[in-house]
Amino acid sequence: MDTVRIWTGLVRVRIYTVSHSWVVSRIVFAF
């Protein structure tokens, strides 16, 4: 089902962004 794939993708993106939020913040502050 596409719904399951979408939800798993959202969860994966959420975990990725939370675990790499400090990298994003450093990139943002770099500019």
Please give the model's pTM, rounded to 2 decimal places: 0.47
Segment 4-18, tens digit of pLDDT: 999 999 999 888 888
Phi, psi dihedral angles at 20 (to 5 degrees): -115, 25
Three-state DSSP at 1 gives coil
Q: What is the pLDDT of residue 26?
A: 85
Sign for the CA dihedral angle at 14, 17, 18, 20 comes to: positive
Segment 19-30, tens digit of pLDDT: 788 888 888 888
Q: Contact, 24 vs 17, CB < 8 A?
A: yes
Q: What is the DSSP letter of 9?
A: H
Q: What is the pLDDT of residue 1?
A: 74
